[in-house]
Amino acid sequence: MQPFQRAHVIAVKGVPAGFACVALQPFKYMPEDVDLIVSEFFLVHGHRGTGTARRALELMIERYPGRWYLGAIHDNLKAIHFWRKTLPSVGARDIRERPIDGDIVWEFSVRT
């Protein structure tokens, strides 16, 4: 039970294809200077590269404007490429990418 997390099923034509979890302040596993964190984002292999993940992200940031934080494990090159390509194209602003403990994190803003 995580009262500050919101879980979302990513579906294609009514069939589950993945999930995303967004955490809100005061979720204890996030920096204090952001409003939201992508704590989980997963899409099954058959739906990757189809635009489904991009659309899911668009819907998430429409629903939760504010200051965001997300991270990718350093050797997950596909995820890193996805976030680098997709964040600017879905309305993320003031994007800052940096390494932390060998992984990659992004901070960005989404306005209403």
Tokens representing residue 22 in the block: 């967004």
Structure confidence at residue 2 (pLDDT): 77
For the stretch 55-80, pLDDT in tens is 999 999 999 999 999 999 999 999 99
* Model confidence, pTM: 0.91
DSSP state of 45: G
Q: In degrees rounded to 5, what are phi and psi of residue 61? A: -75, -25
Spans in the chain with pLDDT lower than 50: none
Q: What does the domain layout of the chain look like in residue ranges? A: 5-103
Residue 87 burial (CB < 10 Å; 0-12/13-18/19+)?
Answer: buried
Looking at domain 5-103, its CATH superfamily turns out to be: Gcn5-related N-acetyltransferase (GNAT) (3.40.630.30)
